Amino acid sequence: MRENGSTKCLCGVLLHTNSGYGRDALWGCLALGLLVLDIWGLSMLRRVILPVIFLILIYGFWISPDFKEIAAGVSIFLFGMLFLEEGFRAFTGGVLEKVLKKTTDKRWKSVAFGVVSTTIMQSSSLVSVLTISFLSAGLIWLSSGIGIILGANIGTTTGAWLVAGLGLKVKISAYAMPMLVFGIILVFQKSKSLKGVGYVLAGLGFLFLGIHHMKEGFEAFKSTIDLAAYAMPGFLGLAVFILIGVFATVVMQSSHATLVLITTALAAGQITYENALALAIGANIGTTITAILGAMSANYQGKRLAAAHLVFNMSTGAIAIAFISQMVWGVDAISMRVGIAEDDYALKLAVFHTIFNVVGVVVMYPFVDKLVKALQKLFPKPAEKAVEPHFINEAAFDFPETLLESVRYETLHLYDNAVEIIAHGLNMHRTTIYSQTKLKAAIKSQRTVIEINLEQVYATKVKVLYGAILDFISQAQMKLPPDFSEDLYTLRGACYGVVRSTKEVQQFRENVSLYMRSDNPHIRKQYDAMRLQIARLLRAINEMRNMPEEDRDVLSLDDFRLEFEKKNIVHNGTMDELIRGGLITAHMATSLMNDLGFLRNIIWNLTDMGKAVFATKDIEAQEADELMALDEDDIEEISHIEDEPSAKTVQEGSAGT
């Protein structure tokens, strides 16, 4: 791998595919490239190239066991990050959040926090990934996170002092395995806090395990880092050694290890003092790789912080390169003053490491706010496509009838969005519900759980719209004549009912998805019956909507209320029979009882909505409908009335006698 002249550059090492190491390095670069792609959030591109990545990975695993080890290491590392985030999320709103907020509420406090925590942990990488986790879990702000990163860069220099001055090396990774074991035991505990601690410990364990595997995979490259081979004077030497410093730190996954390597090479006279400084600068840049890897599984906030880390360390490196001679002079001056021997390069390196990081922090400190703004632009918060009102508009304030009509239409818009949650939440397709298909058969055949993020649909399509309607109605009430207020109240109530129904479905969904696929035909039948009742109501509302206004019969919606009461298995004795006969378990029975409560609320809320929205415009006719509509007591009463015999039954009966 030794080459002469300019071809000795790092790229030459990487692209020298004839050698096994070069090939592995190429794979490593490719993998890193893909990671970077991920960080830049090119989700579209990623979707297209995903199969290609898989093929490349499979080929890579086939030809290189080292590559397999590295890739496995990255995966375990990311798994650890997910655990960490999950763990820290458990502490949101708790003591940890309060402590973190209090200790990082001012920038100088964040920097101090970074210095102290890195000095204690002796790993800036660990502090940076933990900070990414804090940020992703919403425990701290971005500016606080950047402050911690700045502090971590100063804190990490204490490592060089410990190594150089005391020969001491704190190896926190030695605790990885116990952390993993204790963590996993805690994860299985019921207490939320213990579970959280378990996730954090296991996350740290996986993190170190991942780093260990990455190191193992890169072990083959370690021997290729022959610093003497690249020794050269001048600016070119500086640039080459910075790149080697970056590469060595990425390979060894530790800037401390790189510093040890530099010190050894320097003591052996393999490299010059200037080369050593360049390597230290490179190591400082290379150490950001851990944060970049960590940001892969983090949200946009984590990515912002990883980018801030990279920007800071690169800027610090640039400053150090630009003022290298002044820094060398400074190191010599300080070394003389504190009594460091002329040839004690290890300690002088520690001085340099400290100076250039402190200078970096001092220079970057005033620009943190600007950096935050730039990062917010570069990594914007993923836009949630929230729906907007289609019909309500302030222009309608002067026209009461138009205003009422617009609120009515907007209620239907809200209902349409809610139906997505209601139908999909109960694993039914709207196209089937609104078609002419026999619903009973359709529901029996639809046994697949529909993948849907109900919370997200609720937040973007229902909650936002409901908020807009509420706001509009509150404003409209101030400007409308009193005659219209009642209708507006009714529509507001209808909207509330629709929103409540989506919430009921969210609670209902888990059992529906479980029992509609159950092997027990009795419980399956009950849940199918519940789905059928809702599907029929949704179809009826849709049909009513498509009718001419004069044909709409809102009173017919009471049929669904009675149907529920008649089919309520708690009231008609079926539930007792099922339990007594051992046909369903007590657990199933309690689920059924709870879900019948949800079903009842959905049916009453949606029928109320239908009555409010499809009510006739004729005030007297509307009042007549309201007078004849059945309330809870009426439904309860008629549900106990025996069926009257039809003419056919009577005839058949008399013929028999």
Partner 1 sequence: MKTSSILETLASALDLNNTKKKKEALKTALKKLKKKENSYRVRLDELDNDDDRAELKNKLKVVKAQRKKGVKALRELNEKD
Give the separation between CA 240 and CA 257, rounded to whole angstroms.
Answer: 19
* Tokens found for residue 562: 């009675």
Contact call for residue 416 and partner 1 (CB under 8 A): no
Of 593, 621, 632, 653, which one interacts with partner 1 (CB under 8 A)? Answer: 621
Is 420 or 634 the residue whose CB approaches partner 1 more closely? 634
Name 115's Cβ contacts closer than 8 Å, sequence gap at least 6.
151, 152, 154, 155
Maximum alpha-carbon separation in the chain: 125
Contact call for residue 632 and partner 1 (CB under 8 A): no
> Do residues 89 and 63 make contact, with C-beta atoms less than 8 angstroms apart?
no
Within 10 angstroms of residue 306's Cβ, the number of other Cβ atoms is 30
Contact call for residue 455 and partner 1 (CB under 8 A): no
Of 58, 166, 647, 655, which one interacts with partner 1 (CB under 8 A)? Answer: 647
Helix ranges restricted to H, 223-299: 234-252, 255-267, 273-286, 288-296
Give the separation between CA 262 and CA 267, rounded to whole angstroms.
Answer: 8
- Minimum Å gap between C-beta 629 and partner 1 is 7
Of 451, 519, 549, 620, which one interacts with partner 1 (CB under 8 A)? Answer: 620
* Tokens found for residue 333: 């001056």
535 to 574: interface string for partner 1, x by CB under 8 A: ------------------x-xx-xx--xx--x--------
208 to 227: interface string for partner 1, x by CB under 8 A: --------------------
CA 567 and chain centroid, separation: 42
Name 249's Cβ contacts closer than 8 Å, sequence gap at least 6.
255, 257, 258, 282, 283, 285, 286, 287, 289
Contact call for residue 450 and partner 1 (CB under 8 A): no
- Minimum Å gap between C-beta 654 and partner 1 is 15
- Minimum Å gap between C-beta 639 and partner 1 is 8
Is 25 or 439 the residue whose CB approaches partner 1 more closely? 439
Is 53 or 629 the residue whose CB approaches partner 1 more closely? 629
Contact call for residue 38 and partner 1 (CB under 8 A): no
Of 274, 344, 634, 636, which one interacts with partner 1 (CB under 8 A)? Answer: 634
> Do residues 266 and 273 make contact, with C-beta atoms less than 8 angstroms apart?
yes
Is 219 or 637 the residue whose CB approaches partner 1 more closely? 637
Is 512 or 557 the residue whose CB approaches partner 1 more closely? 557
- Minimum Å gap between C-beta 415 and partner 1 is 23
Only one of the segments 212-220, 476-484, 571-579, 641-649 lies at the binding site for partner 1 (rule: CB under 8 A); that segment is 641-649
- Minimum Å gap between C-beta 656 and partner 1 is 17
- Minimum Å gap between C-beta 183 and partner 1 is 56
Amino acid found at 183: G
Is 77 or 564 the residue whose CB approaches partner 1 more closely? 564
- Minimum Å gap between C-beta 619 and partner 1 is 8
> Do residues 395 and 405 make contact, with C-beta atoms less than 8 angstroms apart?
no
Give the separation between CA 224 and CA 244, rounded to whole angstroms.
Answer: 11
Only one of the segments 149-157, 355-363, 467-475, 635-643 lies at the binding site for partner 1 (rule: CB under 8 A); that segment is 635-643
Is 226 or 623 the residue whose CB approaches partner 1 more closely? 623
Contact call for residue 652 and partner 1 (CB under 8 A): no
Of 63, 623, 632, 653, which one interacts with partner 1 (CB under 8 A)? Answer: 623
What's the per-residue H, E or C state across 386-434? Answer: CCCCCCCCHHHHHCHHHHHHHHHHHHHHHHHHHHHHHHHHCCCCHHHHC
Buried/exposed 504-542: b ≥16 CB within 10 Å, e otherwise: bbbebbebbbebbebeeebbbbbbbebbbbbbbbbbbbe
3-state class (DSSP) for residue 581: coil
Give the separation between CA 596 and CA 569, rounded to whole angstroms.
Answer: 9
Q: Which of 164, 155, 156, 327 is nearest to 238 (CA)?
A: 327
Is 49 or 635 the residue whose CB approaches partner 1 more closely? 635
Contact call for residue 441 and partner 1 (CB under 8 A): no
Contact call for residue 398 and partner 1 (CB under 8 A): no
- Minimum Å gap between C-beta 576 and partner 1 is 21
- Minimum Å gap between C-beta 566 and partner 1 is 6
Of 648, 654, 655, 656, which one interacts with partner 1 (CB under 8 A)? Answer: 648
Is 486 or 620 the residue whose CB approaches partner 1 more closely? 620
Q: How far is CA 234 from CA 13, 87, 272, 329, 368, in A?
A: 21, 49, 11, 17, 33
State the residues that interact with partner 1 by CB under 8 A: 553, 555-556, 558-559, 562-563, 566, 618, 620-621, 623-625, 627-630, 634, 637-638, 641, 643-644, 646-648
